[in-house]
């Protein structure tokens, strides 16, 4: 028992030290990389209104933090829609989710809580990218977020949202908020669900100490075309997409009360299959 306690204590010390070095690297590199982002913004502002080049640089910046970290091997199965403005919806387990979704290098605008925009360097870069803030619990902020998302889609850029609204504490899908689905219905934009697995073990909610080696997998599900969710209201569409994602994750979520059709059909990137839920 004493030997096990000593080994456990040594592991805690190691991972605490590893985490300190890792987060120091994140902080220092952010200070060094923000001026590059600012320069790109200044040079391309007039010729790249959608900030595609700046977003690509931001994808590179964020990807560095999983590329250089051997305890977070990332695997991405599938490809995000990058030819049409799409509403991307992903489950949310950990802070790491943001880093791994940048590994797609697809063009989109993040919807993120306003507190992140207040962070030095990282938050400043988010503002340069025209990512979209939301003050959770503030109805006026939610209305403004939806307005900005609608304008973003109309201008040809996709949006990336976590419809659960916050990170899941146990890995199970939380109920979805209807905002992303109201947006898709009003703009007749396709929806693409994204599944993230393993990130909660890599860096649990409310934790900053890395927990050992944990592979992270991203699965990009087929696009759901607007015609497939005709007849839905935002709540029933949110329930239907959540059910599809839960089934893909092997989770049993209780069926909500129906307020519209529960079945959708979607196509993959080549439009060759139509999975239903």
State the alpha helices, DSSP H only, in 103-173: 114-117, 122-128, 139-154
Q: Which band of pLDDT confidence, cut at 50, 70 and 90, is reported for residue 211? A: confident
Domain ranges of the chain: 2-249
- Phi and psi torsions of 192, nearest 5°: -130, 115
Q: Which band of pLDDT confidence, cut at 50, 70 and 90, is reported for residue 149? A: very high
| pLDDT at position 265 | 56
Range 102-129 average pLDDT? 96
Q: What confidence tens digit (pLDDT) does each residue in 12-59 have?
A: 899 999 999 999 999 999 999 999 999 999 999 999 999 999 999 999
Residue carrying the six token digits 């015609």 = 227
Question: Which residue from 218, 225, 243 is spatially nearest to 86, judged by alpha carbons?
Answer: 225
Report whether pLDDT(170) > 90: no
| pLDDT at position 41 | 98
Strands 108-113 and 74-77: unpaired
CA dihedral 115, 192, 100, 82 (to 10 degrees): -100
Fold of 2-249: Glycerol-3-phosphate (1)-acyltransferase (3.40.1130)
Least confident segment among 59-63, 230-234, 244-248: 230-234
Angle, vertex CA 149, rays to CA 199 and CA 172, nearest 5: 25
Q: For the whole model, what pTM was predicted? A: 0.88
Complete edge-to-edge strand list for the sheet that includes strand 87-90: 74-77, 216-220, 191-197, 87-90, 158-161, 108-113, 132-134
Least confident segment among 37-41, 92-96, 209-213, 257-261: 257-261
- CB burial string 146-159: b at 16+ within 10 A, e below: bebbbebbeeebbb
> Hey, is 90 helix, strand or coil?
strand
Question: Which residue from 148, 125, 122, 124 is spatially nearest to 135, judged by alpha carbons?
Answer: 148
Which residues fall within 8 angstroms of residue 151, CB to CB, at 6 or more apart? none
Residue carrying the six token digits 């998302």 = 149
| pLDDT at position 206 | 78
């Amino acid at each position: 028992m004493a030997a096990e306690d000593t080994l456990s204590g040594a592991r805690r010390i190691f991972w605490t030290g590893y985490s300190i070095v890792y987060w120091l690297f994140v902080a220092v590199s952010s200070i060094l990389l923000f001026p590059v982002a600012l320069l790109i913004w200044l040079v391309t502002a007039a010729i790249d209104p959608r900030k595609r080049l700046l977003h690509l640089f931001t994808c590179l910046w964020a990807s560095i933090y999983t590329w250089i970290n051997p305890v977070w091997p990332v695997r991405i199965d599938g490809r995000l829609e990058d030819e049409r403005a799409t509403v991307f919806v992903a489950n949310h387990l950990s802070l790491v989710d943001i880093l791994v979704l940048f590994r797609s290098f697809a063009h989109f605008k993040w919807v993120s809580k306003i507190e992140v925009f207040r962070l030095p360097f990282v938050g400043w870069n988010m503002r340069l990218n025209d990512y979209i803030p939301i003050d959770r619990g503030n109805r006026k902020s939610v209305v403004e977020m939806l307005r900005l998302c609608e304008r973003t889609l109309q201008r040809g850029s996709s949006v990336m949202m976590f419809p659960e609204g916050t990170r899941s504490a146990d890995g199970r899908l939380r109920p979805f908020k209807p905002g992303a689905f109201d947006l898709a219905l009003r703009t007749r934009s396709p929806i693409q669900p994204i599944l993230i697995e393993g990130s909660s073990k890599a860096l649990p909610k409310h934790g900053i100490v890395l927990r050992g080696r944990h592979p992270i997998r991203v699965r990009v599900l087929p696009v759901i075309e607007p015609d497939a969710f005709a007849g839905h209201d935002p709540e029933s569409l949110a329930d239907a997409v959540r059910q599809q994602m839960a089934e893909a994750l092997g989770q049993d979520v209780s069926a909500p009360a129906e307020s519209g059709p529960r079945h959708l059909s979607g196509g993959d990137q080549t439009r060759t299959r139509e999975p239903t839920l």
